[in-house]
Amino acid sequence: MLEQIETIAALREARRQLKGSVGLVPTMGALHEGHHSLVAAARAENDAVIATIFVNPTQFAPGEDYASYPRNLQHDLEALEAAGVDIVFTPTPGVIYPPGFQTYIELEIVATGLEGSHRPEHFRGVATVVAKLFNLTQPSRAYFGQKDAQQVVVIRRMARDLDFPLEIVVCPTRREADGLAMSSRNVYLEAEQRAAASVIFRALQETAAA
Ligand code: PAF
């Protein structure tokens, strides 16, 4: 049965009780097929599975979509329970970033180009929260989607540089029928934008073929 935990003390205690290997699936919720494939891989490869649902404020810049980011906790909890997850950690921002918090993880080259050039503080927030989740859950393996390719590179580098004793498992991008990568943010697209978005995957395929 799925155990929902909101505090660090309760998470540490529940982690102590788990035997064998532990797979961690960090998410920001609004779960879709892409997340479900991460959970399925974690379930198949570990004795226990911990998922986290936390819309991490430090990876959003002012003016980005932190407040409007899709949230659907009840639906997510039901899906995680059905998928056989053991523990879901759903902290509030104050639990992860208590008053006075001032320690962040910054990566150099891998976090500065591509998405990092448009969102200069994004990967600092991602690396910081993921490092905290690694510390709290002590996983054997942690699961991320290939869709967020730069995020994977940043997290791998951070895990190596900080000597986290775990394996980073990268799962293939899940796509809609017309090739658009599944993403919680696809709900922002108007019908016309949604139709146009399928050109991205077609262009990638044609470029690869050429
Ligand atoms: O990919 C995401 O959903 C987030 O960036 C992550 C890894 C859960 C950190 O907040």
Atom of ligand 1 nearest to the CA of 130: 9
How far away, in angstroms, is 126 Cα from ligand 1 center?
A: 6
Report the nearest-CA residue for atom 2 of ligand 1: 27
Nearest Cα residue to atom 9 of ligand 1 = 126
Strands 141-145 and 48-53: unpaired
| Tokens of residue 98, six digits | 């208590």
Q: Which of 35, 36, 75, 122 is catalytic?
A: 35
Q: Given pLDDT bands bounded at 50, 70 and 90, which one contains residue 92?
A: very high
pTM beyond 0.95: yes
pLDDT tens-digit series, residues 58-83: 999 999 999 999 999 999 999 999 99
| Contact criterion met (CB below 8 Å) for 30 and 69 | yes
